[in-house]
Amino acid sequence: MPKERVVDIVEQLTLPILEAHELELVDVEYKKEGGSWFLRVFIDKPGGVDIDDCSKVSEQLSDRLDEVDPIPTAYFLEVSSPGAERPLKKPADFERAVGSYVHVSLYQPLDGQKAFEGVLLSYGADGAELEVREKGVRKHVHIPVDAVASARLAIEF
């Protein structure tokens, strides 16, 4: 079964469990590392998740996955927080991150760069506006939505 299909099925199985606990689905990954497959489910809530949240979701999701059995190979299930460098995938993620320091990677270079870090000033249908520092000078960069390969919160040093 294609990885994308597994991710879609796991998302559908996970959402009702998270809604019951007032948690948010951040991301689902299904990938092979070394000789083993890993199914990772990242969850969050305002103020962050704790080990009890992860444990509850893991137990309930594991039972649900056993019932439906959508993955033909053996795998390890991991349920965790997305961490301090939470990925930004959905428009709501970007909107919530306005005012935060972010890292954005692009498919193609923009002004000779494929990655930008700075404060996310705004986000909308036409793209993201970042304030970045270049050689000590602050400047604004507009990044079209369809140019974004990946984005995440970042820690400013």
Q: What Rg value do the Cα atoms of the chain yield, rounded?
A: 18
List beta partners, residue 122: 129
Query: Quick one: which of 108, 125, 128 has its CA closest to 117?
Result: 128
Average model confidence (pLDDT) across the chain? 94
Please give the share of the chain, as a percent, with pLDDT higher than 70. 99
**pTM summary value:** 0.80
List beta partners, residue 128: 123, 143
pLDDT digits (tens, 9 = 90+) for 99-136: 999 999 999 999 899 999 999 999 999 999 999 998 88
43 and 61 Cβ atoms separated by less than 8 Å? no
List beta partners, residue 110: 113
Domains (range + CATH), the chain: 3-80 (3.30.300.70), 91-153 (2.30.30.180)
At residue 1, does pLDDT exceed 70?
A: no
